[in-house]
């Protein structure tokens, strides 16, 4: 019985590692973000915030710049006046809002 339990645990851990690899995005540090901005490869955060605030009202809770398969993406979390948290993704190069959804 213990052998079966270990195998199931190992299989679950392996699956979690592999599945996590497909959805993985790398956080971009401040120095890299400054370089990307100076090279014109990403929009300034202020432009992204203006675009977000024109579509969603609320208080900004968190902002991250991540490198995904499709390119650099700003990931933002916003607290709406009704108390719900929304997650917003914006293409860092174009400034286009990619996704607005409730955060679970």
Contact (Cβ atoms closer than 8 angstroms) between residue 27 and residue 65: yes
Q: Is the pTM of this model over 0.75?
A: no
Q: Report how far residue 62's alpha carbon sits from residue 37's, in angstroms, rounded to the nearest whole number.
A: 19
Domains recognised in the chain with CATH numbers: 25-102 (3.10.450.40)
**Torsion sign over Cα 16, 21, 25, 30:** positive
Q: What pLDDT sits at residue 24?
A: 54
Burial class (CB in 10 A: 0-12, 13-18, 19+), 89: middle
pLDDT of residue 98: 96
Burial class (CB in 10 A: 0-12, 13-18, 19+), 52: buried
pLDDT along the chain (104 residues), means of 10: 44 39 71 96 96 93 95 96 96 96 85
Q: What was the pLDDT predicted at 60?
A: 94
């Amino acid at each position: 019985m213990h052998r079966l339990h270990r195998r199931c645990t190992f299989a679950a851990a392996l699956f979690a590692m592999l599945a996590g690899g497909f959805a993985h995005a790398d956080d971009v540090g401040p120095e890299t973000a400054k370089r990307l901005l100076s090279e014109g490869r990403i929009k300034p955060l202020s432009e992204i915030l203006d675009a977000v605030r024109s579509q969603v009202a609320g208080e900004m809770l968190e902002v991250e710049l991540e490198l995904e398969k499709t390119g650099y993406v700003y990931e933002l979390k916003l607290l709406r006046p009704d108390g719900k948290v929304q997650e917003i993704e914006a293409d860092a190069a174009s400034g286009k809002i990619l996704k607005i959804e409730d955060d679970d």
